[in-house]
Amino acid sequence: MDIQQLLKKAKEWFVRGLGAPIVILALLGMITVPLPAILLDVFFTFNIVISLVVLMVTVYAKRPLDFAVFPTVILITTLFRLALNIASTRVILLEGHNGGDAAGKVIEAFGAFVIGGNFAVGLVVFAILVVINFVVVTKGAGRVAEVSARFTLDSMPGKQMAIDADLNAGLITQEEAQARRKEITMEADFYGSMDGASKFVRGDAIAGIIILFINIIGGFAIGVGQHGLPFGEAVEIYTLLTIGDGLVAQIPALLLSTATAIIVTRVSSDKADMGEQLEAQMFSSPQALGVTAGIVGIMGVIPGMPNFAFLSFAAIAGLGAYFIHRKQQQIVAQSGSQLEPEIMEDSKPTELDWDDVQSVDVLGLEVGYRLIPMVDQSQNGQLLERIRGVRRKVSQELGFLISPVHIRDNLDLKPNQYRIMLMGVPSGEGEVLPDREMAINPGQVYGDIAGTPTRDPTFGLEAVWIDPNERDQAQALGYTVVDASTVVATHVSQVIQDYAYELLGFDEAQQLLDKLRKTSPKLVDELIPAQLSLAVLVKVLQNLLEEKVSIRDMRTIVEALSNKAGQTREPSQLTMHVRTALGRSIIQDIAGMNGELKVITLEPSLEQLLLQATQGAPDGQLAIEPGLAERLHSTLREETQKVEMSGQAAVLLVAPQIRAQLARLFKFSLPSLHILAYSEVPENRQISVVANVGNG
């Protein structure tokens, strides 16, 4: 076994086996067993090194969760430092009369370097370090950790709702949703632990002050009373040792306090550490550096001021502003040259052909010029990926492949406006602010948030455009917060679902048949074209999609059509029969796994009246008087709201002969009301009638 394998085995043995017990026993040993001076030097040096390592890790971490073990590290290092303080105090009080190096070279060097022969200066410097650590850094970091923990816990419901909204819109997969939920839980655990860990850092600072007084007072008493040292010599020795011990403990404590403050105050970024964030955000504006250079330069020419220092920094700031401005101009020039069209050598006009006649896109998205960065992946635009996720999810839900969404800019639109095109016809539009996020009121929030009032373009809910930095606050108040790309992608998803029946044509239907033929060739050949034409199948599928019924189960659909095709070829009759065959799937999509289905029914007299109204009417329309239609609509709206207030889907159960007509009548006025036929309810479903609507 070579050295590398031996070290690997030792690492696995230490980490998985006896690592934690050994650390605990070592801490107890440092507290109870007197340590020689050489070991104190080693441990104090190790304490400084580990504190620097922790500080550097926090500086280069891209987000707090990259160093999720930080609260545990704080606890362990704090306990280690306190154990060292106890061990060094024992050595100072027992061996301090032997000279300045009695407690080791590290303590002596720190004490002599800071004091410089003046004890008063040493005490003042130590006091300043303690005040900075205890009052400024530790107290501030503790307060930030406390507030962050509270806001993180309060914002968890809003973040969960945002994940559910992205999942339902098809912007993320189930695995991505689980990963984001796990990250939210880890974030809450991290900030909760940081809130507690900051108390250890604060207690460590207080302990340092107490240990200082114990060492000085106890050292004077022991040195003069027990060892007979002169007062001046005792003061010199024990002050040197005490100040050195305090400094060698306070400097690592200050480093850890600084690391704590950095990690709880920084903003998460997956693409840049703290140095890159500072460069991108503080030194990316030539105006800021230019104005600073001007102000410092004016101060530098005032008589009596340190002219050299002020003018030097003014020159540095001015040069920085110049180079940043020059770099930005080069970037703009390069991007502009890439967008310029190539000039053809042969500029002679060519004859028109059919390629010059552009066909209409099935699905299109037009954006204003300010929204172009949202679709430009070179500028970190997320909209293309979001729409790709929408197509994937909606295709899986509806059962056929959705056509690609062609995106182009339109200078006729407002800068922040977008428009969704279906077969070349506008089918939805809205305006978004690409540098803001939309906080949507889902129906119940716990306060108002500052921003630009607006409405969600998809569902018309009240919303507010907010600064991205206020996301956590808005989620804590109960808002669902999404970015501009998600707003557009959700709107595209809704338009696709509303007009899915127009997106399915002959080619898509043939693709579905070809896919089914691979597993059930006899079933497909028996139906098309032997019993039904492809046009009739397309119409039936379109009818199902228009009524929000998925066509994923093509096997059941084709079997139902084969059973009924010998009796009728009327698409509406075939659709009714297919819906009956898909009844279990339809009920599952509406009510889920709930065993009991709560429904609204019509009184027999009203249902008989509606059945008579369909007889002889053209295209199966309901020939009823407007007054009856208005009363029926008003009553159904009230009953629908009552059912939905109880947290369940509203279902109207009617005779199969009038189901399609009622569904067409209330399609837009009562979109949340599901109208089913008696024959569509499976036998194993229990029905509970919650309302009975009459014609009064």
Burial class (CB in 10 A: 0-12, 13-18, 19+), 632: buried
Assess if residue 643 is contained within a domain.
Answer: yes
For CA atoms 66, 71, 74, 80, the dihedral sign is negative
Domain containing residue 645: CATH number: 3.40.50.12790
Residues 535 and 491 placed together within one structural domain of the fold:
no
Give the model confidence (pLDDT) of 595-645 as tens digits.
Answer: 678 888 888 888 888 888 777 555 556 677 778 888 888 888 888 888 888
Give the model confidence (pLDDT) of 34-56 as tens digits.
Answer: 777 788 788 888 888 888 888 88
Report the helix count and the strand count for the chain, using DSSP H and E. 26, 12
Give the model confidence (pLDDT) of 99-155 as tens digits.
Answer: 656 666 777 777 666 666 566 676 777 777 777 766 666 666 666 666 666 666 666
As a whole number, mean pLDDT of residues 82-96 equals 78
Amino acid residing at 190:
F
> Of residues 132 and 413, which shows the higher confidence score?
413
Residues 685 and 631 placed together within one structural domain of the fold:
yes
Q: Specify whether the CB–CB gap between 652 and 674 falls below 8 A.
A: yes
Assess if residue 587 is contained within a domain.
Answer: no
For CA atoms 515, 517, 523, 529, the dihedral sign is positive
Assess if residue 277 is contained within a domain.
Answer: no
Number of structural domains in the chain: 6
Give the model confidence (pLDDT) of 359-382 as tens digits.
Answer: 778 899 999 988 888 888 777 788
CA-closest candidate to residue 679, choices 598, 581, 545: 581
Amino acid residing at 202:
R
As a whole number, mean pLDDT of residues 240-269 equals 74
Domain end, chosen from 551, 581, 611, is at 581
Residues 639 and 565 placed together within one structural domain of the fold:
no
- What is the SS3 string spanning 139-191? HHHHHHHHHHHHHHHHHHHHHHHHHHHHHHCCCCCHHHHHHHHHHHHHHHHHH
Residues 166 and 232 placed together within one structural domain of the fold:
yes
Assess if residue 156 is contained within a domain.
Answer: yes
List phi, psi (to 5°) of 33.
-100, 130
Domain end, chosen from 447, 473, 501, is at 501
Whole-angstrom CA distances from 188 to 1, 176, 191, 480, 518 are 45, 18, 5, 18, 50
Query: Residue 369: in which H helix or E strand, if any?
Result: none
Assess if residue 333 is contained within a domain.
Answer: no
Cα Rg of the chain (Å, integer): 37
Residues 557 and 540 placed together within one structural domain of the fold:
yes
Residues 409 and 493 placed together within one structural domain of the fold:
yes
CA angle 60-63-68, nearest 5°?
A: 95
Residues 223 and 119 placed together within one structural domain of the fold:
yes
Residues 426 and 518 placed together within one structural domain of the fold:
no
List phi, psi (to 5°) of 676.
-120, 155
Question: Which residues 6+ apart lie within 8 Å of 311 measured at CB?
Answer: 296, 297, 300, 301
Assess if residue 343 is contained within a domain.
Answer: no
For 101-134, b/e burial (b = at least 16 CB within 10 A) is: bbbbbbbbbbbbebbeeebeebbebbeebbebbb
CA-closest candidate to residue 172, choices 422, 483, 475: 483
Q: Check pLDDT > 90 for residue 419.
A: yes
Residue 456's pLDDT is 92
Residue 204's pLDDT is 72
Residues 4 and 119 placed together within one structural domain of the fold:
no
Q: Specify whether the CB–CB gap between 636 and 673 falls below 8 A.
A: yes
Give the model confidence (pLDDT) of 634-683 as tens digits.
Answer: 888 888 888 888 778 888 888 888 888 888 888 888 888 888 888 888 88
Domain end, chosen from 475, 501, 527, is at 501
Rounded CA gap, 272 and 283, in Å? 15
Residues 137 and 221 placed together within one structural domain of the fold:
yes
> Of residues 24 and 411, which shows the higher confidence score?
411
Residue 544's pLDDT is 92
Rounded CA gap, 177 and 160, in Å? 9
Instruction: Give bridge partners of residue 481 from the DSSP assignment.
Output: 439
Residue 488's pLDDT is 92
Residue 344's pLDDT is 44
Lowest mean pLDDT among 33-42, 156-165, 493-502: 156-165
Question: Which residues 6+ apart lie within 8 Å of 74 measured at CB?
Answer: 197, 200, 201, 256, 260
Rounded CA gap, 40 and 53, in Å? 20
Structural domain containing residue 530: 504-581
Amino acid residing at 417:
Q
Rounded CA gap, 288 and 281, in Å? 11
Q: Specify whether the CB–CB gap between 672 and 644 falls below 8 A.
A: yes
Give the model confidence (pLDDT) of 291-329 as tens digits.
Answer: 787 887 888 788 777 777 778 878 888 888 788 778 777
Residues 53 and 143 placed together within one structural domain of the fold:
yes
Indicate whether this model's pTM tops 0.75.
no
Give the model confidence (pLDDT) of 385-394 as tens digits.
Answer: 888 888 888 9
Domain containing residue 572: CATH number: 1.10.8.540
Give the model confidence (pLDDT) of 178-209 as tens digits.
Answer: 887 888 777 777 777 777 776 776 677 677 77
Residue 492's pLDDT is 93
Assess if residue 349 is contained within a domain.
Answer: no
Lowest mean pLDDT among 13-17, 195-199, 485-489, 548-552: 13-17
For CA atoms 384, 385, 386, 390, the dihedral sign is positive
Strand order in the sheet with 417-422: 405-409, 363-367, 417-422, 425-431
* Pairing of the two strands 405-409 and 363-367: parallel
Question: Could you tell me if residue 304 is left (phi over 0), alpha (psi between -120 and 50 degrees) or otherwise beta?
Answer: left
Assess if residue 163 is contained within a domain.
Answer: yes
Q: Check pLDDT > 50 for residue 339.
A: no
Task: Record the tokens describing residue 13, joined without a space.
Answer: 């043995």
pLDDT over 90, % of the chain: 12
Measured between its terminal Cα atoms, the distance across the chain in Å is 93
Q: Which of 126-130, 162-166, 270-274, 484-488 has the highest mean pLDDT?
A: 484-488
Task: Record the tokens describing residue 250, joined without a space.
Answer: 């306070």
pLDDT over 70, % of the chain: 79
- What is the SS3 string spanning 226-291? HCCCCHHHHHHHHHHHHHHHHHHHHHHHHHHHHHHHHHHHCCCCCCCCHHHHHHHHHCCCHHHHHH
Residues 648 and 575 placed together within one structural domain of the fold:
no
